[in-house]
Copies of this chain bind each other. A is one copy, B any other.
Amino acid sequence: MTSDEGTPVRVHIIGAGLIGTSIGVGLRALGWPTTISDASPKAERLARGIGAGEALKETDAPDLVIVAVPPAATSAQVLHALERWPNAVVTDVASIKAPLAAAVEHAGLASHYVGSHPMAGREVSGAAAAQGDLFRARPWVLCPDGADPGAVALVRRTAEALGADVVVTNASAHDAAVARVSHAPQVAASAVAAALASLSLSDLTLAGQGLRDVTRIAASEPTMWADIARLNEANLKETIAGIVDDLARVRDADDIGEALMDLVERGRREATRIPGKHGGRRRDWTPVTVIVPDEPGQLLRLLTDVSALGINVEDLAIEHSPQQPVGLVELSVDPARAGDLSTSLAERGWEVAS
């Protein structure tokens, strides 16, 4: 069932959207024989044109079938593929895993199915945006559940061939986790943004970076989230119920200060556990903020000066002034070097704001 390490895997991709097409482009670049199909002949032609794979022939016998259709359609396509190619391993890329695990288990087909979830962050969609590098250095979750070890190895090999960071868990743990790390944050961000409806554009000039950070994902696509919410309903409702309880406690508090202090303290404790650089805990870099004229080449000039000082920039964020032609560039550096950096940049004529 699985190919030997080193042998190209014959892969068939069902679904020529952004993810399916990107997988095809990536695997073909590695020399893997890849086919791709889509219910829409136009989408399929476009994906083939981009080089995501050949047309599937009736007689083709893929080693691996990757179902890359929208979440709500995934279950039917996975079951169909498992029945059509009983010797193949089938995986999918849907962002909710438990309903699929249950469906293949119920059909008695779990041994050849490995749920997977490549976490490639893109705000665009469609084959035209596809890139073989889309998965490089991004988490790709595998949920073996009832799968044969050989099936798991094949899907792992494919994800690793595309450069992804493989994370192994199981379908129900995955869905419970994404409710908290992905789905509930989206719902909360949308609710915070929706609460701005009563404000005038002039009121909104008081918005700072905090609001922009919290609401960045509020720009997401509503229909996609409706599907995700339906498929992860129980976990999402449980997570939101907890958040509602926390917020209602603040709303109803006799002493709002005490209630908020408790919540902010708990949140702060959990936030430090979110992995940052290299999977470890977030390092405490020290920010050095520099005021940079908002014109071409200035950021480069700044980084050239920083580099000349032999100081590594661990992170960098830009905030633009609402009224002036300058940007505030926050450089995160080793705390032991931050003082040096501020002084040296000031000596070189930069306006250092912190």
**Contacts from A to B (Cβ < 8 Å):** 119, 121-124, 129, 131, 133-134, 136-139, 141, 163, 165, 167, 169, 173-174, 176-178, 180-182, 184-199, 201-223, 225-227, 229-230, 233, 236-237, 239-244, 246-248, 250-251, 255-268, 270-279, 287, 291, 294-297, 299-300, 303-304, 306-307, 310, 312-313, 315-326, 328, 351-354
**Partner pick for A222 among B176, B264, B287, B296, CB 8 A cutoff:** B264
Pairwise interchain contact B322-A205, C-beta atoms closer than 8 A: no
Copies of this subunit: 2
A-B interface, 4 closest residue pairs, ranked by CB to CB distance from nearest? A190-B267, A137-B321, A226-B257, A193-B267
Pairwise interchain contact B318-A268, C-beta atoms closer than 8 A: no
Pairwise interchain contact A131-B191, C-beta atoms closer than 8 A: no
Main SS at interface, chain A: helix
Pairwise interchain contact A242-B137, C-beta atoms closer than 8 A: no
Measured between beta carbons, the chain B residues less than 8 angstroms from A303 are 299-300, 303
Pairwise interchain contact A291-B323, C-beta atoms closer than 8 A: no
**Partner pick for A353 among B136, B197, B297, B320, CB 8 A cutoff:** B136
Pairwise interchain contact A202-B328, C-beta atoms closer than 8 A: no
Say yes or no: A246-B121 contact (C-beta < 8 A), given A251-B241, A264-B186, A323-B279: no
Measured between beta carbons, the chain B residues less than 8 angstroms from A223 are 261
Measured between beta carbons, the chain B residues less than 8 angstroms from A191 are 188, 243, 246-247, 263, 267
Shortest C-beta distance, A67 to chain B (Å), equals 20
**Partner pick for A271 among B193, B264, B315, B320, CB 8 A cutoff:** B193
